[in-house]
Amino acid sequence: MIAAIFAFTPGLIQDSERKSSFTGDIRVHEAFESKILGNKRTIRVWLPPKYDAKKPGGYPVVYFCDGQNVFDGATSFIPNQEWRADETAQAMVEAGLIPPVVLIAIDNAGMKRADEYLPTKGKLGNSEVGGGATDYGNFLVREVKPFIASQYAVSKEAEKTGLIGSSFGGIVSFYLGISRPTEFGLLGVMSPSFWWDDQKIVRDAGNWKGKPDVKIWMDMGLEEGEQMSGPGRAMRDALVKQGFVNGKDFRFYEEANAGHNERAWAGRLDLCLQFLLSEVK
């Protein structure tokens, strides 16, 4: 079992050395309620430098899974190890490597994380989990996206809307992008848990009727082990057979000396964002 497959619960890790590490203009929406999922969570929004609330057409927008880990070491699963998405995006926008973009970090559901993120039910330890990814997608599309659009200047175009996640967040990002390409056209699939349910999602990819109109970044750390890398490479091959072109609408990246953790994903996020967003206008 992959050691970093976890459920984040605020307060689970007590560490007096935790430090808040926000960079830039971040707005926090606490206790955002979902009628679809029957729970509440925090949503954090990072706005780009010189954000214009009246920008015609809105900014490109990227939604992140496991939002606790995205901006702040004070809330991240491992103390002070976060994705540094705010620092990375700010530096890239200021350098002209990506266009100004709005980032949305959506907290996971703690102990229900696996239920929401996994497309099918299966055994994790002694518990049966998963099967709620479709409902999670409904939550994003019917509740989160309309709320964000009502509060911020974001694009409604799929080709300017991204979804990024790692591990279980990687599999749900892939699943929702492939099943809802008119909602999420840019997919950041980092260290995805394609091994889940005997690689069903990989097997399903070989039976698609038509190639989804999405752009996909997919990556893996070579220290994650065969359980992760084997299914990841199998999905790479399945996507190529479906007509995705590596380096054009798809990129598969393997990083040496990288494991299954926030530090590794933070280290690759610039590559992911640049591939997905550099041609977005």
On the CB side of 28, CA atoms within 13 Å amount to: 13
Evaluate whether residue 167 is within a structural domain.
yes
Evaluate whether residue 3 is within a structural domain.
no
224 DSSP assignment: G
Evaluate whether residue 6 is within a structural domain.
no
**Can you give the pTM of this predicted structure?**
0.93
| CB 152 within 8 Å of CB 53 | yes
Evaluate whether residue 227 is within a structural domain.
yes
Q: Residue 120's closest CA among 135, 98, 109, 142?
A: 135
pLDDT at 16: 57
Compute the distance between CA of residue 154 and CA of residue 157 in angstroms, rounded to an integer. 9
For 178, counting Cβ atoms within 10 Å of its Cβ (0-12 exposed, 13-18 middle, 19+ buried), the class is: buried
Split into its structural domains, the chain has a count of 1
Q: Residue 86's closest CA among 69, 109, 103, 99?
A: 103
Compute the distance between CA of residue 62 and CA of residue 54 in angstroms, rounded to an integer. 19
| CB 184 within 8 Å of CB 156 | no
Domain that holds residue 34: 25-277
- Could you tell me the two tokens for 109? 């559901």
Evaluate whether residue 126 is within a structural domain.
yes
Evaluate whether residue 16 is within a structural domain.
no
Q: Residue 106's closest CA among 62, 73, 149, 49?
A: 62
Q: Residue 23's closest CA among 72, 58, 79?
A: 72
CATH of the domain at 99: 3.40.50.1820
Q: From first to last of its 281 residues, what are the pLDDT tens digits of the chain?
A: 333 333 333 344 445 577 788 889 999 999 999 999 999 999 999 999 999 999 999 999 999 999 999 999 888 887 878 999 999 999 999 999 999 999 999 999 999 999 999 999 999 989 999 999 999 999 999 999 999 999 999 999 999 999 999 999 999 999 999 999 999 999 999 999 999 999 999 999 989 988 999 999 999 999 999 999 999 999 999 999 999 999 999 999 999 999 999 999 999 999 999 999 999 98
Q: What is the DSSP string of 154-218?
A: B---GGGEEEEEEEHHHHHHHHHHHH-TTT--EEEEEEE-TTHHHHHHHHHHTT-SS--S-EEEE
Compute the distance between CA of residue 185 and CA of residue 170 in angstroms, rounded to an integer. 15
Evaluate whether residue 210 is within a structural domain.
yes
Evaluate whether residue 19 is within a structural domain.
no
pLDDT at 15: 53
- Could you tell me the two tokens for 1? 């079992």
